[in-house]
Structure 1
């Protein structure tokens, strides 16, 4: 590692646009997409803003770490699915749940009642064709101007990336699974 001098001067750029709701996308093959979205949810909740989290691949009865803490904090986190496709016993039912889940999420976004809406793992239903991309894009374009929406999952479609205000691609540099270390509660759940 090369030692650097701390910066002492910095050009300050002052934004000239209006504050408005943002569309944020967390995508890529690396870890941390949902975790980053949950961090934003905590930040907004900490400022007293109404937040709602939808998880497209988790079952409604899921009790992972994020469910436990959000429940304690009073942040609704709602499972809309029946697990990842490789665990599903009926993909037609999985698709139906995704469409029903999208209808709920769309109504929430359009209502304007929440400052932040998280659509966790929505990229899977989009990529599988269970939720029409154009419906999601239209809703994001037409949402109330104060509503922020975070969408997570691998393989974000180019059209969504083009529409988004901020896109972060998580890149895997190294992963403990490859060294044979199993998933651990409190880290991967």
Structure 2
């Protein structure tokens, strides 16, 4: 795959080897599973470096749900880092602590090589912007409330939720046992 000279890359990241059944073809929507809340919690409860991907031109839901997910993962022992293809809009800049504002080639801290990637409030690959080609095949989980999106990995989509932040809160409460 050739990248344009302006494309950003993660030079030290390695794409995990796909399972034997998927080595000969690219995964399609038929390969992706709709997960239950319990399955999402089981996946996230194991401490691991985690990149949290939010959509380009981030809004308050994307930023808030990404930060909430980051804090929850850190409380469970994971090292987490939020990434976005675009800078935060000025009206959300006060939330910048804990969310890097512009993904630069060297902005992802050490220790995230091979990290799991969780997309939040990102309904399709196009919404991830220029980050998607770099992370394609690495996103392990998609948490979203947009029922009209295009799942690009295993997903927990709740179109009846008003926002992805509501879903993250639901997962936190379910993990704590106070539904």
Work out whether the TM-score is over 0.5: no
Tell me: higher relative CO, structure 1 or 2? Use CA pairs within 8 A at least 6 residues apart: 1
TM-score using structure 1 length: 0.39
TM-score using structure 2 length: 0.40
